[in-house]
Amino acid sequence: MAGPVWGQSKFVWPEGRQVAVSLSFDDARASQVTRGLDLLARHKAKVTFYVNPRSMERQLEGWKRAAKEGHEIGNHSLTHPCSGNFPFARNRAIEEFTAARYGEDLDEGKRLIESMLGVKVTTFAYPCGSKFVGRGVKTQSTVPLVAQRYLAGRGFRDEAANDPAFVDLAQVLGVESDGMSFAQMKAAVDRARANNGWLVLAGHEIGEPGNQTTQAAALDQFLAYAADPANGVWLDTVETVARYVREKGARK
């Protein structure tokens, strides 16, 4: 049976680009609206915002603007359940969740986001990058839940770009962009380019260097770099790249 030879095929991105990059930002942090949207608009860049409806509500007009300007709005759950080792998540610790409760948390988050913004949500980012519920021998993976519901699920603090001919779209690797300099961002893209990969960056605040912050100056430089056709970068949302990958290459 004819088919691509894994590890040897050259994945082809649109218009001869050599690498795909998606920028994503989590938690509907205020600075994404107050700093991020103008910066992104200057470069005509489209990114993915993984929002929680309760945080989004605090700046609803800003998030409506983000959707109107063509950014993807993805789901980041209703209550942001994470390991109870984080004090903030102790009352919604995934160690104490069932898979059914996790699914309900996702579904209610998506429902609220869609009704507040009038968008269709198709991708998801795992809160804290965690992909399980329960403890010990009763631990269950949440990946199947995400695979059933979403075109793509993005992880966090992963270490590599995605191979578009191999990636499981329910576990797209997400590399942290917080704290990165422009040189570090460019180096990550260069590594991805060597394998015609898809680099998905994941950050939180956008602004001056600080805790959980993707530096505005580095982002500004990076967006100029990505927009230069000479660099062969396809910059687009997680949704748009995932659709292309699903159509052209990803294993089902």
Residue 194 Cβ, how far from Zn ion at the closest point, in Å?
A: 30
Residue with Cβ nearer Zn ion (204 or 243): 204
Write down the least CB distance from residue 81 to Zn ion, Å. Answer: 10
The residue among 51 and 188 lying less far from Zn ion, judged by its C-beta, is 51
205 binds Zn ion (CB under 5 A): no
- Number of residues interacting with Zn ion: please give it, by CB under 5 A: 3
Please give the Cα distance from 163 to 17 (Å, whole number). 15
Query: 26 or 72: whose CB is closer to Zn ion?
Result: 26
Binders of Zn ion among 7-36, rule CB under 5 A? 26-27
Binding window for Zn ion (CB under 5 A); candidates: 9-17, 58-66, 85-93, 121-129 = 121-129
C-alpha distances in angstroms, 181 versus 119, 176, 205?
33, 12, 15
Counting Cα atoms < 13 Å in the Cβ hemisphere of 158 gives 22
Q: DSSP character for 21?
A: E
How far is residue 217 CA from its own chain's centroid? 21
- 7 Cβ contact list (under 8 Å, min separation 6): none
Least distance in angstroms from the C-beta of 235 to Zn ion:
22
Q: Which residues partner with 202 through β-bridges?
A: 24, 176
Q: Which residues bind Zn ion (CB under 5 A)?
A: 26-27, 127
